[in-house]
Amino acid sequence: MKTEIERKFLVVGDAWRADADAGEPCEQGYISSDPEAATVRVRVIGSLGFLTIKGPTTGVSRTEMEYEIPLEEAQQILRNFCKKRVISKRRHLYQTNGIVWEIDEFFGENKGLILAEIELETEDQHFEKPDWLGEEVSHDSRYFNAALACHRKKSEMHCS
């Protein structure tokens, strides 16, 4: 079982675009999104499918298990089990100083939102912040993908 240590920031401006890749379309849906227990999601990114289970967040860490699954099965799970708990985005990669940033540009109800995430080896790992990083939202559950998948205003936190 892997521990994911992730920090998340709002993105300010478009300066990151000059050095980021073109990105891949990503659609992910949530089967379960209980922050006290587990989040279970399915993701289609490019031509790959993944099933991911994440435990509760402590600080900026949580346990994570991710499995590649057949693309067709991932698409069926999105359609049949996730219903309205789906987000669409384009994931860009931006590399600097040996670190890879994942920059998610959201569509649909969350259009205009751009978030940057970085995965770390330890919670206190030092990293340089690019100029285009805005406010850190690692601890703000409104910016968790599971909350954004509810297709509600970012100020609302739970799906019905």
Q: Mind telling me the catalytic residues? A: 30
Token pair for 21: 């890749």
69 SS3 class: strand
To the nearest 10°, the Cα dihedral for 127, 128, 133, 135? 60
The enclosing H or E element of 75 equals helix 71-81
15 SS3 class: helix
- DSSP letter at 144? S
d(CA 28, CA 73): 13
Nearest to 33 by CA among 150, 139, 151: 150
d(CA 54, CA 67): 12
